[in-house]
Each structure stands twice: as C-alpha cells, then as structure tokens.
Amino acid sequence: MPISNSQYDEIIRGYQDRQIKNKRLVKKRYEEVCEKAPDYKDLDDALASVSVLQGKKFLEGDEEALRELKSMIRDIKEQKYLALVRAGFPSDYLEPIYDCPQCKDTGYIGSEKCHCFRQTMVNLLYEQSNLKNLLQTDNFDNLSYNYYQGDDLLRFKNAVETCKNFVKNFNSDYHNLFFYGTVGTGKSFLSGCVAKALIEKGNLVIYFSALSLFERLSKNSFDFKAKEEFNLLLDDIYNCDLLIIDDLGTELTNAFVSSQLFGLLNERHLRKKATVISTNLSLEELRDRYSDRIFSRITSHFEVCKLTGPDIRMYKKRMMNRK
C-alpha cells in the first residue's frame, strides 16, 4: 500500500527502536553471564588477543597463522559454550535477539520488504481508515443468530460455517468467498469476521470498500507522477494474503472499473491469493453491470453465499430509538 514519506520514516524508526531494545537486552544478558561465570569474559578477552596476535604473525609472513587462528577460535568457542552451560544458561542465551528473525528487524529481506514491514504498513492504514475499530465489533465473538428465522437463518448459519472453514483451511487450501443478498443481512459483518480472524493468525489482509478501491486506482492510474505509487498499490493488491472488496456495486461502474476488477481477480487467481467480495447486487445485476468474463470468474472460482432477511442495521436502530 502506498504510504507517505513521514509514515515510511515512522516505520523505519520503529525498526531502529527494536534493534536498540534487543541489543540492550543481549548486553544485559552478557553482563549477567559474566557475573555468574567470570571465566566467560576471560575467554572473550582471550579470543580478541589471539586474533590480534595471529593477525600480526600472518602479516609478518607466517602462512600457518590463519590455520592456527581457526583452530584456536574453535577451541575458545567450545570453552565458552561449556562455561555458559555450566553456569545454568541456555546454549543460545547470548545469540542475537530479533522480533522478526526473517528480516532481523531491518524490515527488508534483500531488496524486498519483509512481511512484517508490509503488515505494519497495512496496520498503519487500518488505523487511518478506522477498520481496526470496525473489527472490534465485526468478529466471530459478536456473532448472533437472533435476527434470522426460517430460510434466512439457515442461509446465515451455512455462511458462518463456510467462513469458519475458510479461516481454518486458509493456509493450506485456496478458496474465495462471494457474499450477495439484500441490504443489512450480515455480508460486511462476515467479511470483517474473516478479516479479524486471519489478521490474528498473522496473515496480510487488505480491506477496501469498492468505492475507495476504484477511486484510488483511478487517481493513481491517470496521474503520471503517481506511477510508482500505482505500481506499489497493484503489487499489494495482487500479493496480499487476503483481499476484501466490500460493497461491490456502490462504485461508478465504467470500462475502467470493469477492466481493473477483472485484472485484479485474474491476477489473484493465477497467484492463488484469496479474495472475499460482498455486494447488495443480485447475480443477475452482477452479470448485467459487469462483463461476462467477471461474472464467469466470480461464479466459477468463488464460493457463493446468499444472505437474506431483515435489515439488521435498521432493526438495531429501531430498538435503540425505543429505549
């Protein structure tokens, strides 16, 4: 997701703070070891001394100096290991500490952003978009069947079971979800439930309303100066673990929107990246509004869940007004 320079700097400062925190922790552990096992520090000092001594010998023409140094280093390291264990410490007690071992708290693996960096970017944008507040209510803990009856209840229960299986098998089985039906029947709520559950499992989830998604794509696509931001946006849309598009059909649908929607659905399918879509459109309206290719892609590659019943938001509002 494109972020500002100040936001990027904020994330980098966060990594620098982690590095400082963990280095201080290792230093504190080292001081603890030296206090309980004084010979450990003596061995450390000896390691530095022999390195300097053998280095001088090598510079003076002693070709055996480096071989001897390697042997000495092995011996000293073995003695340090034994001293550490004898003092009651784990063998890896003085190893470097990282919040993210993959990138070693740099944010990058080579020239690529680490998953933890990208998740931090998304979290930053979540806070701006109020999605985190939304997920405090839209989650499985707050799920209720009290607003449904008859066939409506059966459909909702089936959709909930589908969502829970989707989350359970997410990392082993490629699936997509498509929620459609009348207004206020729980489609966005279930999308939020899935989002929160997968975020808590460490997956990279990006959420857009259809309106904001296509507005952002349009803004960056036709602005030459924003070309880099557009490519970054597409990269995240194509590669995030889960993309959620809420309220499809509320955007102004045109040739650009249809082209972009097909492109992202096609790319994510090719990369086996899951997508969740919700809409108030019927399947007939979906087919009429978008291209046959999009309709075919959704009905062929998505698990389709229809939700019906009363408008729960309006029902809750009426109940609040009666109090």
State yes or no: pLDDT of 189 exceeds 70. Answer: yes
Query: What CATH code is assigned to 130-322?
Result: 3.40.50.300
Q: Check if the beta carbon of residue 188 is closer than 8 Å to that of residue 138.
A: yes
| CA distances from residue 82 to 25, 96, 182, 289 in whole angstroms, order as listed | 22, 19, 69, 72
Q: Check if the beta carbon of residue 118 is closer than 8 Å to that of residue 242.
A: no
Pairwise CA distance, residues 291 & 297, whole Å: 10
State yes or no: pLDDT of 228 exceeds 90. Answer: no
Pairwise CA distance, residues 306 & 323, whole Å: 32
Pairwise CA distance, residues 301 & 276, whole Å: 11
Region 186-197 average pLDDT: 92
Task: Look at 58-62, 94-98, 173-177, 281-285 and tell me which has the smallest mean pLDDT.
Answer: 58-62
153: confidence class by pLDDT, cuts 50, 70, 90: very high
Q: What is the pLDDT of residue 225?
A: 60
124: confidence class by pLDDT, cuts 50, 70, 90: confident
Parallel, antiparallel, or unpaired for β 177-181 and 205-209?
unpaired
DSSP type of residue 114: P
Instruction: Please tell me whether residue 222 adopts helix, strand or coil conformation.
Output: coil
67: confidence class by pLDDT, cuts 50, 70, 90: confident
Residue extents of the structural domains in the chain: 5-86, 130-322
202: confidence class by pLDDT, cuts 50, 70, 90: confident
Q: What is the pLDDT of residue 62?
A: 84
Hey, which residues does 123 pair with through a beta bridge?
A: none
Task: Look at 209-218, 221-230, 266-275, 304-313 and tell me which has the smallest mean pLDDT.
Answer: 221-230
Region 128-153 average pLDDT: 80
User: Using CA of residue 22, residue 28, residue 33, residue 39, what is the dihedral sign?
Assistant: positive
Q: What is the pLDDT of residue 216?
A: 84
Q: What tens digit of pLDDT does each residue of 291-310 get?
A: 899 999 999 999 999 999 98
pTM for the predicted model, two decimal places: 0.65
State yes or no: pLDDT of 279 exceeds 80. Answer: yes
| CA distances from residue 313 to 185, 190, 317 in whole angstroms, order as listed | 8, 14, 6
Pairwise CA distance, residues 21 & 41, whole Å: 23
Parallel, antiparallel, or unpaired for β 112-113 and 108-109?
antiparallel
Structure tokens belonging to residue 258: 């249809």
DSSP type of residue 201: T
